[in-house]
Amino acid sequence: MRTCEITRKTKETDISLKLCLDGGEVKVSTGIGFFDHMLTALFFYGGMGAELNVTGDINVDGHHTVEDTGIVIGKAVREALGDKKGIRRFANAYIPMDEALCFTALDFSGRAYHVFDAEMPQEIIGAYDSCLTEEFMRAFAVNSGLTLHQKCLYGANAHHITEALYKSLGVAIKEAVTVVSDKIVSTKGALE
């Protein structure tokens, strides 16, 4: 089983995560209801098991909570993947959510890069600032060593756009981390 347990404590957040790339129960608590909903979707569609508990300074706003959670999930995925032997590595997914259509393409190359092209028509979704979606995705990509490109092709509702981005990330991760051979999928012979 490809698993990882990680904790991270700062003056702004206290985060613990148990992650299994090969499935299991999903329990998420961040103190931000919409973010819980998005992370539950990410883990579910990513085929991952996760127990995530986050205490953050949400009395200030959600920024530290969301970004630091991206850091922790990214580090956990990177550790759980190990040397990445046999994983498919590349994947992409289009996800429609009512009027919105979003796309994610990714590569577990070990070289972190993030491109995000998704305008948010509304600034707030519940207690979640819609601009935090990009912050989460960047933190996740950098800390997992992932090349991640995301785009909203069209959409009028920030809730739908954000949900399609998280779900497309999950679907693409599930495909990319699937073990398809006994070799490292790289002409260099390593994914670092």
Task: Give pairs for 129-134: CB < 8 Å, separation 24+.
Answer: 129/61, 129/62, 129/63, 130/158, 130/162, 132/35, 132/62, 132/63, 132/66, 132/67, 133/38, 133/162, 133/165, 133/166
Cα–Cα separations (whole angstroms), residue 104 to 109, 114, 123: 15, 11, 22
Residue 15 has pLDDT above 90, yes or no: yes
Cβ neighbour number for residue 27 with a 10 Å cutoff: 14
When pLDDT is averaged across residues 134-160 and rounded to a whole number, the result is 98
Is the pTM higher than 0.85? The answer reads yes
Can you tell me whether residue 180 is helix, strand or coil?
Answer: coil
What integer pLDDT is reported at residue 55 of this predicted model?
A: 98
As its CATH architecture, domain 3-176 has 2-Layer Sandwich (3.30)
Q: What's the mean pLDDT when you consider all of the chain?
A: 96
Ramachandran angles phi, psi of 9, nearest 5°: -130, 125
When pLDDT is averaged across residues 13-39 and rounded to a whole number, the result is 98
Q: What is the pLDDT of residues 55-77, one digit of tens each?
A: 999 999 999 999 999 999 999 99
What is the share, in percent, of the chain residues with pLDDT greater than 90?
94
Residue count of the chain, please give it.
192
Tokens of 134: 């990009």
3-9 vs 13-20, strand pairing mode? antiparallel
Residue 189 has pLDDT above 80, yes or no: no
Q: Give CA–CA dist 176/130, Å, rounded.
A: 27
What integer pLDDT is reported at residue 53 of this predicted model?
A: 98
What is the share, in percent, of the chain residues with pLDDT greater than 70?
99
- Any idea where the domains of the chain sit in the sequence? 3-176
Residue 187 has pLDDT above 80, yes or no: no
